[in-house]
Amino acid sequence: MRYAYRRVTTAPFSSTVEAVERAARDRGFVVLETLDIQASLAAKGFPISPLVIVELGPAEGEKDELVALLLPCRLNIYEEDGQVAVAALRPSLFREVYPERDLEDAAARLEQAVIAVVDDACD
């Protein structure tokens, strides 16, 4: 199994960040925070390639406590080899972190939604 779901897009970097935020809201997530890692590190004297992390929280009214164990989900938008990529860790990985909990269904549902956000943003 691959640990992350990753897609590349031909859209410009800033447009991709906006597309991820829009797709997340359209899929019912709350965008908790958008972290411009490149700007933060550049301010401290450490220049890096563009990197933004968008943190997704549960939709308002989400009642499944198992989903709470899997959130926030973080989507990374970055440049690599001249391309803009969007990647997210697969929530199903957390079944190994919490083996005492039955996360199979919650993780599968959340992973499907996160993959849809990435796909929507990159299409």
Q: What is the CATH number of the domain that holds 36?
A: 3.30.310.70
- In the chain, how many domains are there? 1
pTM: 0.92
Nearest to 42 by CA among 55, 52, 32, 34: 52
Strand order in the sheet with 51-57: 4-9, 83-89, 73-80, 51-57, 30-36
Q: What is the number of alpha carbons within 13 Å of residue 7 lying toward its C-beta? A: 16
User: Length of the chain, please?
Assistant: 123
Question: Each residue of 85-110: pLDDT tens digit?
Answer: 999 999 988 888 878 888 889 899 99
- Domain range for 112: 4-122
Question: Each residue of 19-60: pLDDT tens digit?
Answer: 999 999 999 999 999 999 999 999 999 999 999 999 999 877
Per the rule left: phi > 0, alpha: psi between -120 and 50, beta: everything else, 54 is beta
